[in-house]
């Protein structure tokens, strides 16, 4: 019992001390977890200017099995291909999310079928549900009355914000058929119009704000 109490205390202190930091999740499976290298730095700059955060401009990289993930209230995960979690990864991620952490997975196109299978290891008793447009993540700072914005077309499907809820708190967000990360990248990478990039950055700021405050 004493060990459990100490562990919970360490988690609480970590999330408090590092409450203004975010990290990229380096997962296994061969997917390009490192894609969109300019995305998070640009989102951080936007958040620091517009929602009064003080996030370090260079996000750290952490592995799902590491205790280091407990230092960050927000983890970002993206890529195009395969995702694989070991049982150790899944247990550590589950403990992180249930203790107050937040994982945002942004499908950069192609990771969805692999991801859904691996999330069953993390939460075998929960499933991804589509968030209603009334969810506060769509209005925590900027209003998105239609829900998740469409940034890149890919297959032409509608964008979906899917989540896992625990005790009325959104602990995991999966943004699908939107590709927010491409919209956060430097303008010359995808040549998106400025209004499209602004939508992506504003939605990203909403996600960060929700993760930090809930």
Architecture of the structural domain at 2-213: 3-Layer(aba) Sandwich (3.40)
The per-residue pLDDT for 19 is: 61
Opening angle at CA 66, ends 175 and 87, nearest 5: 75
Give 88-110 pLDDT, tens digit per residue: 999 999 999 999 999 999 998 88
Average pLDDT estimate for 55-60: 92
Domain residue spans in the chain? 2-213
Q: What's the confidence (pLDDT) of residue 25? A: 98
- 18 pLDDT above the threshold of 60: no
For the entire predicted model, the pTM comes to 0.89
- % of the chain surpassing 70 pLDDT: 91
């Amino acid at each position: 019992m004493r060990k459990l109490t100490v562990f919970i205390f360490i988690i609480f202190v970590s999330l408090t001390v590092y409450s203004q930091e975010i990290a990229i999740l380096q997962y296994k499976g061969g997917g390009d977890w490192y894609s969109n290298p300019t995305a998070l730095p640009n989102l951080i700059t936007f958040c620091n200017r517009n929602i009064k955060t003080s996030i370090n401009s260079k996000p750290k990289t952490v592995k799902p099995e590491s205790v280091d993930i407990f230092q960050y209230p927000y983890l970002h995960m993206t890529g195009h291909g395969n995702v694989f979690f070991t049982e150790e990864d899944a247990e550590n991620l589950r403990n992180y999310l249930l203790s107050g952490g937040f994982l945002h997975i942004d499908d950069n196109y192609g990771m969805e079928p692999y991801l859904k299978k691996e999330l069953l290891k993390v939460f075998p008793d929960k499933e991804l549900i589509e968030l209603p447009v009334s969810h506060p993540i769509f209005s925590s700072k900027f209003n998105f009355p239609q829900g998740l914005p469409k940034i890149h077309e890919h297959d032409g499907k509608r964008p979906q914000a899917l989540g896992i809820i625990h005790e009325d708190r959104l602990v995991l967000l999966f943004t699908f058929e939107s590709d927010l990360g491409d919209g956060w990248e430097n303008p010359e990478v995808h040549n998106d119009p400025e209004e499209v990039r602004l939508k992506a950055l504003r939605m990203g700021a909403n996600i960060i704000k929700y993760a930090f405050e809930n």
